Amino acid sequence: MDGSCTMSSRQRVTLIASGEAAYRAYLVDLVRAECAVTEVIAAASFGQALATLSARADIALADIALAALDLAAPMARHARDLRRLRTGFPNMRLVILAASDDRVEILAALRAGAHAYIPKALGAAAIGEALRAVAQGDIFVPAALSALPRNAAEPASGGASPSRRPAELTPRQKDVFLLMQRGLRNKEIARALNLSENTIKVHAYALFRRIGISRRKELVAALLAVKH
């Protein structure tokens, strides 16, 4: 509750959309508690949120720092509007909250431009932590979905040792892994590999799942282990 979401002096408007009034109010309170915002725009639906933004001529491209959208599956149904939102506000960090924890839904949201996919079943502390991570430039996917499936031939701790994992990655995942190791962000990696940032996020999600972590900062320890 320390207001530690990092936002510039302009980028302090947060957009929230949820069809459930109680959950919408919960998200508004959570964002106000966790992030230093000057305004929260709350809408009863994704469509209403888009309409509100269109009607607000006073909101510039740089004003929307974060959007937290409560969306029902399938995510593919929302893909066009999500891309439209990301195109209209390229500096905005996009968070999807959903009841579904299906991998297909997570990947669909990431491909559409989301920086985070948060199951609604998570508690306030976990959601707040995820919001802070996304505001600071990370992506977030549920830890339970990024964990490696345990193989009977693997040790009880689960998964291969970090020093062996990079050899198990696809060529593109290795490229992303090596650039992350150099400290590059998704946008910089996308530029270096001549790919879209959304594509890099999908590769990053697969890489995180392979290594068995949920967020970028947890990758640091694995990277250090690989170096040594």
Residues 111 and 31 in one domain: yes
Report the domain count for the chain.
2
CATH of the domain at 116: 3.40.50.2300
Final residue of a domain: which of 127, 144, 161? 144
Does pLDDT of 15 surpass 90?
A: yes
Alpha-carbon separation of residue 143 from 110, 116, 148 (angstroms): 15, 12, 10
Residues 17 and 59 in one domain: yes
Residues 127 and 156 in one domain: no
pLDDT in tens, 75-100: 999 999 999 898 888 888 899 999 98
Q: Which of 99, 23, 9 is nearest to 63 (CA)?
A: 9
Label residue 17 by pLDDT band (50, 70, 90): very high
pLDDT in tens, 166-176: 446 677 777 88
Structural domain span for residue 40: 13-144
Does pLDDT of 71 surpass 80?
A: yes
Is 3 contained in some domain? Answer: no
Is 4 contained in some domain? Answer: no
Residues 177 and 108 in one domain: no
Question: How far apart (Å, rounded) are the C-alpha atoms in residues 200 and 204?
Answer: 6
